[in-house]
Amino acid sequence: MAKVMVSMRIMPESVEINLKDLEKKVKEEISKFGGDVVNVSVSPIAFGLNALDIEFFMDEKLGGTDPLEEKIAGIEGVVNASTTSVRRVVG
């Protein structure tokens, strides 16, 4: 089985959500799932609201990211988590 690079966008409930705290919680969930975070960025959405964009590697034998999305969406302060891309890594 190969590794895949997953990009995920996490939307907070409001501008009051501390993104650093949220990032820490999301990284913990990804780690528990078996992923290895390699990049985190903040993307402006509108009216001061920012989203977390996280990229991580995982083994494709773990299957899809739906269970992880559900776990992350269950974190207090998160509206939703959605996978924006999945790419197979060669090498």
Phi and psi at residue 34, to the nearest 5°: 110, 15
Q: Is 67 left (phi over 0), alpha (psi -120 to 50) or beta?
A: alpha
Each residue of 45-61: pLDDT tens digit? 999 999 999 999 999 99
Determine the angle formed by the axes of helices 19-33 and 66-73, rounding to 10 degrees.
150
Phi and psi at residue 50, to the nearest 5°: -120, 150
Q: Sorting pLDDT into bands at 50, 70 and 90, what band is 1? A: low
Q: Which residue has the higher pLDDT, 52 or 1?
A: 52
Q: Domain range spanning residue 48?
A: 3-89
Look up the CATH number of the domain holding residue 12. Answer: 3.30.70.60
Which residues does residue 13 pair with via DSSP β-bridges, in sequence order?
Answer: none
Each residue of 30-88: pLDDT tens digit? 999 999 999 999 999 999 999 999 999 999 999 899 999 999 999 999 999 999 999 99
Q: What is the pLDDT of residue 91?
A: 64
Q: Total domain count for the chain?
A: 1
